[in-house]
């Protein structure tokens, strides 16, 4: 039997400002119940200009790395769809800011919101062959659709950092996984646009179709394993999305699977589902990190979970690639998560008025700006973008 590898530590960073979606609904002339119930979002994290993806990611990773980790990390894999450079990988900035040993390699992965999952699997394969070494996999994104757009309420920002090791203390990633690729235009962002282009209703439909497709393949290839899955965690662009996927699966034909067993599984996953959405409801869409924010939420709030339980994680990246990966909860998962710190991280936030949010949203960086001092007088907390000079980005740290 192969050795267990997977998630040993999880770091989370969410910007300190948010918009209340009820305020947003009132400002946009929409019934607040649409946002709170129909979409399932209460708050939306808003980054300042100096909180770019490097700052977000460095703040998430710094919390979890010990001096030993810095020496033992061989790779930094950065998953994002908010990159500002077509050539230089965001992971290189992270390697520098975090002081990771010089012989590590650093690169960026892109496939919409799916990228983090590809990074985790690549990291697990690497560690499986070199059990003494570690890989840092980080996701950071800023979800932007535009003021007054129908996607506006599904924006958000933040970063998740995972340390992948042998004998992990949170989640052992299993070899069992099912992936699917389909060339589609449901959501994409050409390089000349700073907001996403999206065919919103089609994107939610495609997400559900690919979930059903993946589940039906698992029914066919490994029905016994499928029955062991205790909870299902989803990529959550908004918290209603996973529920829609579960409902679609409930309605699918499932010609290869015992229908009574399927109904029992779905009942169990639906009962646990609210726990998987608690944190996502307070943040919005993290793109690459959303699935892993939902995993944190499950681990913190699903009281029925115990060590040894199998978790299904459905990763979806528009365009489109989807994959169901699975993991087994490890005995020390709760102490490794540091739930008090995560709660305090959420409690420190302050609410913006809609006018303040709109001003921050419009304060974007022009791509041709030569010299820029981003943080004049208002530096962010932790790592932040200090200046852009001759197209070079420089960062600083505020304790
Ligand atoms: N009270 C309660 N519920 C209400 C309501 C009210 N007063 N008014 C409307 N609703 C419900 C609707 O019935 C609907 O529920 P169902 O989907 O269960 O039927 C829900 O609120 C949303 O209503 P609409 O469909 O009319 O909303 P919309 O047209 O404004 O758009 C959206 C919703 C398509 C999700 C849009 O916000 C969007 O485009 N978001 C960005 C794209 C996205 O997140 N896609 C997800 C799949 S793609 C992906 O996962 C990758 C990624 O990260 C982007």
pLDDT in tens, the chain (399 residues): 468 999 999 999 999 999 999 999 999 999 999 999 999 999 999 999 889 999 999 999 999 999 999 999 999 999 999 999 999 999 999 999 999 999 999 999 999 999 999 999 999 999 999 999 999 999 999 999 999 999 999 999 999 999 999 999 999 999 999 999 999 999 999 998 888 899 999 999 999 999 999 999 999 999 999 999 999 999 999 999 999 999 999 999 988 899 999 999 999 999 999 999 999 999 999 999 999 999 999 999 999 999 999 999 999 999 999 999 999 999 999 999 989 999 999 999 999 999 999 999 988 776 666 667 766 555 568 999 988 888 899 999 988
Distance 312 CA to ligand 1 centre (A): 24
Q: What is d(CA 142, CA 380) in angstroms, rounded to the nearest whole number?
A: 16
Write the residue with the smallest CA distance to atom 9 of ligand 1: 34
- From the alpha carbon of 318, which atom of ligand 1 is closest? 51
Instruction: Show Cβ contacts of residue 237 under 8 Å, excluding neighbours closer than 6 positions.
Output: 113, 143, 154, 285, 287, 290
Number of structural domains the chain divides into: 2
Beta strands in 251-320 (DSSP E): 310-317
Question: Quick one: 297 and 392 in the same domain?
Answer: no
Question: Quick one: 224 and 269 in the same domain?
Answer: yes
Distance 186 CA to ligand 1 centre (A): 14
Q: What is d(CA 394, CA 333) in angstroms, rounded to the nearest whole number?
A: 36
Cβ atoms within 10 Å of 337's Cβ, excluding its own: 18
Q: What is the pLDDT of residue 380?
A: 67
Question: Quick one: 119 and 89 in the same domain?
Answer: yes
Query: Which of 203, 211, 294 to mutate for ligand 1's pocket (most ligand atoms within 8 Å of CB)?
Result: 203
Q: What is the pLDDT of residue 369?
A: 67
- From the alpha carbon of 153, which atom of ligand 1 is closest? 37
Half-sphere exposure of 36 (CA within 13 A, CB side): 11
Residue at which a domain ends, from 307, 331, 355: 331
Q: What is the pLDDT of residue 66?
A: 98
SS3 393: strand
Question: Quick one: 278 and 349 in the same domain?
Answer: no
Q: What is d(CA 154, CA 176) in angstroms, rounded to the nearest whole number?
A: 31
Tokens of 293: 């924010």
Write the residue with the smallest CA distance to atom 20 of ligand 1: 38
Domain range for residue 48? 5-171+338-398
Q: What is the pLDDT of residue 363?
A: 84
Q: What is d(CA 279, CA 57) in angstroms, rounded to the nearest whole number?
A: 18
* Among 345, 266, 276, CA closest to 56: 345
Residue at which a domain ends, from 331, 347, 375: 331
Question: Quick one: 179 and 122 in the same domain?
Answer: no
Ligand 1 binding pocket, CB closer than 6 Å: 31, 33-34, 37-39, 113, 150-151, 153-154, 186-187, 198, 200-201, 203-204, 207, 235, 237-238, 240-241, 285, 287, 316, 318
Query: Which of 36, 112, 150 to mutate for ligand 1's pocket (most ligand atoms within 8 Å of CB)?
Result: 150
Query: Which of 34, 187, 245 to mutate for ligand 1's pocket (most ligand atoms within 8 Å of CB)?
Result: 34
Tokens of 24: 């947003």
Q: What is d(CA 325, CA 74) in angstroms, rounded to the nearest whole number?
A: 23
Distance 297 CA to ligand 1 centre (A): 22
Q: Which residue has the tokens 């997400």?
A: 207
Distance 39 CA to ligand 1 centre (A): 5
Give yes or no for a cis peptide into 66 (omega within 30° of 0). Answer: no
Question: Quick one: 186 and 197 in the same domain?
Answer: yes
Residue at which a domain ends, from 272, 302, 331: 331
Domain containing 387 — which CATH number? 3.40.47.10
Positions annotated as catalytic residues are 81, 113, 235
Question: Quick one: 220 and 343 in the same domain?
Answer: no
Beta strands in 115-260 (DSSP E): 134-143, 156-166, 171-181, 187-188, 197-198, 229-234
Distance 54 CA to ligand 1 centre (A): 30
What are 374's strand-pairing partners? none
Q: What is the pLDDT of residue 189?
A: 94
* Among 51, 181, 71, 186, CA closest to 118: 181
SS3 247: helix
Question: Quick one: 284 and 364 in the same domain?
Answer: no
Q: What is the pLDDT of residue 387?
A: 86
Question: Quick one: 283 and 188 in the same domain?
Answer: yes
Question: Quick one: 319 and 360 in the same domain?
Answer: no
Question: Quick one: 88 and 21 in the same domain?
Answer: yes
Question: Quick one: 123 and 215 in the same domain?
Answer: no
């Amino acid at each position: 039997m192969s050795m267990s590898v997977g998630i040993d530590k999880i770091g989370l960073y969410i910007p300190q400002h948010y918009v209340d979606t009820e305020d947003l609904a009132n400002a946009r002339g929409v019934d607040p119940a649409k946002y709170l119930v129909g979409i399932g979002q209460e708050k939306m994290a808003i980054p300042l200009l100096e909180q770019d993806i490097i700052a977000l990611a460095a703040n998430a990773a710094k919390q979890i790395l010990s001096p030993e980790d810095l020496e033992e990390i061989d790779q930094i894999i950065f998953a994002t769809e908010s990159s500002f450079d077509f050539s230089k990988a965001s992971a290189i900035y992270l390697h520098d800011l975090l002081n990771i040993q010089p012989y590590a390699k650093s690169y960026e992965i892109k496939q919409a919101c799916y990228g983090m999952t590809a990074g985790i699997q690549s990291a697990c394969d690497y560690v499986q062959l070199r059990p003494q070494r570690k890989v840092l996999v980080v996701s950071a994104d800023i979800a932007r659709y535009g003021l007054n757009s129908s996607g506006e309420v599904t924006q958000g920002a933040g970063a998740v950092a995972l340390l992948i090791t042998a004998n992990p203390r949170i989640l052992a990633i299993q070899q069992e996984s099912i992936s699917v690729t389909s060339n589609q235009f449901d959501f994409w962002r050409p390089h000349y646009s700073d907001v996403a282009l999206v065919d919103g209703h089609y994107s939610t439909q495609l997400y559900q179709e690919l979930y059903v497709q993946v589940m039906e393949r698992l029914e066919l290839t490994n029905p016994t394993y499928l029955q062991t899955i205790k909870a299902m965690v989803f990529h959550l662009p908004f918290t209603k999305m996973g529920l829609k996927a579960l409902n679609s699966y409930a309605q699918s034909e499932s010609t290869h699977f015992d229908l009574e067993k399927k109904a029992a599984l779905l009942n169990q996953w639906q009962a646990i589902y609210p726990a998987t959405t608690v944190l996502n409801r307070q943040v919005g869409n993290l793109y690459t990190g959303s699935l892993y924010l939902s995993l944190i939420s499950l681990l913190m709030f699903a009281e029925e979970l115990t060590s040894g339980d199998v978790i299904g994680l459905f990763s979806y990246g528009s365009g489109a690639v989807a994959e169901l990966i699975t993991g087994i909860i490890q005995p020390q998962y709760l102490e490794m998560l540091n739930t008090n710190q995560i709660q305090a991280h959420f409690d420190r936030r302050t609410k913006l008025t809609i006018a303040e949010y709109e001003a921050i949203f419009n304060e974007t960086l022009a791509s041709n700006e030569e010299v820029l001092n981003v943080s004049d007088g208002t530096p962010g907390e932790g790592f932040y973008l200090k200046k852009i000079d001759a197209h070079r980005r420089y960062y600083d740290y505020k304790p």
